[in-house]
Amino acid sequence: MLCTSTRFFLLTTSTARLALAAPLSSSSSSYFFSTNNYYNPISFSSLPNKPKPNSKPLLTTSTSLYFTLRADHTMASQSNPNSIHDFTVKDAKGNDVNLGDYKGKVLLIVNVASQCGLTNSNYTELSQLYDKYKQKGLEILAFPCNQFGAQEPGSLEEIQDFVCTRFKAEFPVFDKVDVNGDSAAPIYKYLKSSKGGLFGDNIKWNFSKFLVDKNGNVVERYAPTTSPLSIEKDLLKLLGA
């Protein structure tokens, strides 16, 4: 619900935006809004009363105010996540997966690759952990990434076939993502900001690992060379097993 004392109007350029009107000075009845790099003053006898005759209408778009406010709220909540559970990602078939569905689960999130020197040992041990603890609440989320030595060049179908055929892995493999740079997936920006690495936040190589508790909090980060089986003691603490 909008506060009745809030002075606002809706303006459009290429898209509808919501702007708060602010007085140019304490003694002035002129209000301004900012669009791109210029100011456009609008004078009102008072706000939120009707504007003077010949002035432009406050609402200049057919987009409903409710929709605009709702969209802004959604964007804000996604840009300020409180936990991993606030994210939606794509699975290997392009379907949305709400990570809120994993509430109450312990998560091990890994950026994977099929042609890395760490591939065999990591996939083998990850599968062992999953088989041993999936009934106790462990989920492993694998995100293919081709940023390190171009060692994950295949299509999602080829990656799925490789994982299932060679390692009999049953944990979910998601859409291919970037984990570093401007194009990094939002979930990885959040993971890195939650747990920085020894020499900076960036992911160093394939098979970096993040451990997430049942409430969606990132509690630990492991280097690519860390054996998945060596994480077992940390998993047990979170699983309560």
Is 116 catalytic? The answer is yes
Confidence of residue 197 (pLDDT cuts 50, 70, 90): low
Find the catalytic residue in 3, 116, 145, 164.
Answer: 116
Domain extents in the chain: 8-79, 84-239
- What is the pTM for the complete model shown? 0.68
Predicted local distance difference test score (pLDDT) of residue 195: 85
What residues form DSSP beta bridges with 49? Answer: none
DSSP H helical ranges for 135-210: 156-167, 186-194
Confidence of residue 13 (pLDDT cuts 50, 70, 90): very low
Predicted local distance difference test score (pLDDT) of residue 103: 97
Whether the per-residue pLDDT at 162 is higher than 90: the answer is: yes
Q: Is 101 exposed, middle or buried (0-12, 13-18, 19+ CB in 10 A)?
A: exposed
pLDDT, one tens digit per residue, over 17-37 is 333 333 334 444 333 333 343
Superfamily of domain 84-239, CATH level 4: Glutaredoxin (3.40.30.10)
